[in-house]
Structure 1
Amino acid sequence: MTTLTNTQKQLPDFPLSVSLCGTGPMGAPIARNILSGGVPLTVWNRTAAKAEAISGGKVAGSPAEAAAEVVLTVLPDLPQVAALLPGENGLLAGWAAAGIRNPVLVIHGTVSPVAVAEFAEDCLRDYGLSVIDAPLSGGTIGAEEGRLSTMVGGPSDVVGRLTPLFGLYSSTVAWFGKTGAGSTVKACNQIVVAATVTALSEAMAVAAATGLDLEKVQSVLAGGLAGSEVLRQKGGRWIDGDFEGGGSAKNQLKDLNFIAELAKDTGLELPLSTSVRGAFEVMVAAGDGDLDHTGIYRTILAASAATTAGSRC
């Protein structure tokens, strides 16, 4: 595991060309941190205006134009990454045109550990392409502040060359083994995140139902064993009732589905994850999938209201 401080985050002589595909809420601050670290960067996004907003970056008109020796992807899921490869405007064509023989594709999104391992095997066999899975934890705030935790799987020699680059936007970079291992660690992370978000939502529901001051309750929780990064970053959402933006419930459910897939693959029973997954299924089915995952609070309150109404009938 590599831990980096802010004083180390300059890398003007990074020897490989770098591009980033996906300049959304996480990708944009990562791109800015790379550029601030002195590394030239090409950026591509399906909505061009979001790439054009990255000051100092060279904007690519297609994935083919973004075909650098190292391509970082910050996209929702594996199908979106795989879609960058084929066609005359795809990465494969771009690498061929640029004469790049052994490119590296980094997947920073949260994807299925099982699927990404298979994808990596196929890419190496068919194209000579090294796929590194390097999911992130720390949210948009962590990305902006350059203190993400990056969990990495892939060939150790390739990862070793990339670690200084990852350090431009990460405070911790940890390698766990072959491709898929990083996503397995992210699954472990998401078990805790989803459960913590749901537990805090239940706690806030109890506090609200009994007329307590949510801000004061949170201050007590934050000072004890119940304190967490989730509470620090997201506590204001329960107080203000504002669940717009942020890490979406539908993405949280996607992650929980990956956890269920991994549990099945390893023969594990995960009762808490199964219960939390069910709660997020209800939330997404109710049309709240685009809300921040802390919006599970609304789902809890709605279910309670429905139960109360039913008991009065």
Structure 2
Amino acid sequence: MTTPTTIDKEIPGFSGSVALIGTGPMGAPIARNILAAQVPLTLWNRTPEKARAIGGGTVVASPAAAASEVVLTVLPDLPQVAALLPGEDGLLKGWKTAGIEHPILVIHGTVSPVAVAEFADDCLRNWGVTVVDAPLSGGTIGAEEGRLSIMVGGPPEVVERLTPLFGLYSSTAVHFGQTGAGSTVKACNQIVVAATVTALAEAMALASTAGLDLEKVQTVLAGGLANSEVLRQKGRRWIDQDFEGGGSAKNQLKDLNFIAEIAAARGINLPLATCLQSAFEEMTATGDGDMDHTGIYRTILA
């Protein structure tokens, strides 16, 4: 088993070994930003070729081999993170073999705040693993440019230790409370993202049916109050009718389902989020769930 490398380039306020699991559209640019800072990084991905394509770091054959003092996971949902722990090839065995007594497991995916809080309690009680939920906003462009926004939940002393590391691939990292708080903030973020994507898709659909030049329409929107990061990053998709790749509609729906769960638990009615949930349910039901969420445009025009 490959032993994770201890960081030898000093990051002010941080020391320890680091691994990243999940080198997909978000994980890969995060890894590249960490490596660009000359920080040794251990990488594992279910498809090894994707990890090797990063062109740096130490690519290992199992989660156990990736067991480091800090393990960053960039995976779709909590079940994929939980599946990393057990077995001979799991993180728990790897941490034990490496003699790491108090590992930190960072969850960068968007997960249920309720479920991740329970998961964190179980991990700390049963294995001494501290779980930090740190969902991301900024999309693949934000990840590539190292200017993600990170919403963090976890013990203050652990978050303080992680903050310099987060700074290698984010422009904003804010601690909101114990584990689960970060995912609650991400739910707030996703209401705005889903609403903005859908509003722009409706605007583009209306402009299209009126025979207007979508590029010119977007120029006007970008010059006024309707401008947004969504328009900046996603605007070409409506112009080019290109909805492949990107943040999928099924993941947007997953987030909206979490929002409904939180709202129900807090006894609050969120009418807009409920409408958005229905819209993305319709989109995925028609077979467009793997498309970028901007493809809600197709559902609107159907």
TM-score for the superposition, normalised by structure 2: 0.96
What residue identity is the alignment partner of 2:149?
Answer: S
Quick one: distance in 1 between partners of 2:199 and 2:221? Answer: 12
Which consecutive residues of structure 2, in runs of 5 or more, have no partner in the other structure?
1-9
Residues 129-153 of structure 1 deviation map (CA, whole Å, 9 limit, x = unaligned): 0000000000000000000001100
Q: Judge which range, 30-39 or 66-75, deviates more.
A: 30-39
Closer/same/farther in 2, CA of residues 12 and 62 from structure 1, 3 Å limit: farther
What residue identity is the alignment partner of 1:63?
Answer: P
Deviation of the 1:190 alpha carbon: 0.2
Tell me the matched-pair count: 294
Equivalent residues of 2:190, 2:256 under 8 A apart: yes
Deviation of the 1:39 alpha carbon: 1.2
What residue identity is the alignment partner of 1:165?
Answer: L
What residue identity is the alignment partner of 2:245?
Answer: G
Give the structure 2 partner of residue 187 of structure 1: 187
Quick one: distance in 2 between partners of 1:77 and 1:67? Answer: 20
Residues 180-225 of structure 1 deviation map (CA, whole Å, 9 limit, x = unaligned): 0000000000000000000101111110111111111111111111
SS in 2 for 1:172: strand
Give the structure 1 partner of residue 121 of structure 2: 121
Quick one: distance in 1 between partners of 2:13 and 2:161? Answer: 12
SS in 1 for 2:226: coil
Give the structure 2 partner of residue 111 of structure 1: 111
Quick one: distance in 1 between partners of 2:155 and 2:12? Answer: 24
Quick one: distance in 2 between partners of 1:224 and 1:13? Answer: 41
What residue identity is the alignment partner of 2:83?
Answer: A
**Runs of 4+ with >4 A deviation:** none
Q: Does 1:279 align with 2:279?
A: yes
Which consecutive residues of structure 1, in runs of 5 or more, have no partner in the other structure?
1-9, 303-313
What residue identity is the alignment partner of 2:120?
Answer: A
Residues 16-39 of structure 1 deviation map (CA, whole Å, 9 limit, x = unaligned): 100000000000000010011121
SS in 2 for 1:151: strand
Q: How is 1:57-206 mapped onto 2 (pairs within 5 angstroms)?
A: 57-206=57-206
SS in 1 for 2:43: strand
What residue identity is the alignment partner of 1:69?
Answer: E
Equivalent residues of 2:13, 2:161 under 8 A apart: no
Equivalent residues of 2:198, 2:297 under 8 A apart: yes
Give the structure 1 partner of residue 242 of structure 2: 242
Quick one: distance in 2 between partners of 1:181 and 1:39? Answer: 28
Give the structure 2 partner of residue 310 of structure 1: none
Quick one: distance in 2 between partners of 1:140 and 1:195? Answer: 19
Deviation of the 1:12 alpha carbon: 8.2
Equivalent residues of 1:12, 1:37 under 8 A apart: no
Residues 280-302 of structure 1 deviation map (CA, whole Å, 9 limit, x = unaligned): 00000000000000000000000
Quick one: distance in 2 between partners of 1:13 and 1:230? Answer: 34
Deviation of the 1:14 alpha carbon: 4.0
Give the structure 1 partner of residue 53 of structure 2: 53
Deviation of the 1:54 alpha carbon: 1.9
SS in 1 for 2:15: coil
SS in 1 for 2:244: coil
Give the structure 2 partner of residue 306 of structure 1: none
Q: How is 1:4-19 mapped onto 2 (pairs within 5 angstroms)?
A: 11=11, 14-19=14-19
Quick one: distance in 2 between partners of 1:12 and 1:43? Answer: 23
Residues 96-116 of structure 1 deviation map (CA, whole Å, 9 limit, x = unaligned): 000000000000000001100
Equivalent residues of 2:154, 2:178 under 8 A apart: yes
Give the structure 2 partner of residue 308 of structure 1: none
Equivalent residues of 2:30, 2:143 under 8 A apart: yes
Q: Judge which range, 207-216 or 145-154, deviates more.
A: 207-216
Deviation of the 1:56 alpha carbon: 2.0
What residue identity is the alignment partner of 2:272?
Answer: L
What residue identity is the alignment partner of 1:283?
Answer: M
Residues 85-126 of structure 1 deviation map (CA, whole Å, 9 limit, x = unaligned): 000000000000000000000000000011001100110000
SS in 2 for 1:43: strand
Equivalent residues of 1:11, 1:38 under 8 A apart: no
TM-score for the superposition, normalised by structure 1: 0.92
Equivalent residues of 1:35, 1:56 under 8 A apart: yes
Deviation of the 1:11 alpha carbon: 2.8
Residues 230-254 of structure 1 deviation map (CA, whole Å, 9 limit, x = unaligned): 0000000111101000000000000
Quick one: distance in 1 between partners of 2:69 and 2:138? Answer: 27
Q: Does 1:289 align with 2:289?
A: yes
Quick one: distance in 1 between partners of 2:266 and 2:38? Answer: 43
What residue identity is the alignment partner of 2:258?
Answer: F
SS in 1 for 2:96: helix
What residue identity is the alignment partner of 1:250?
Answer: K
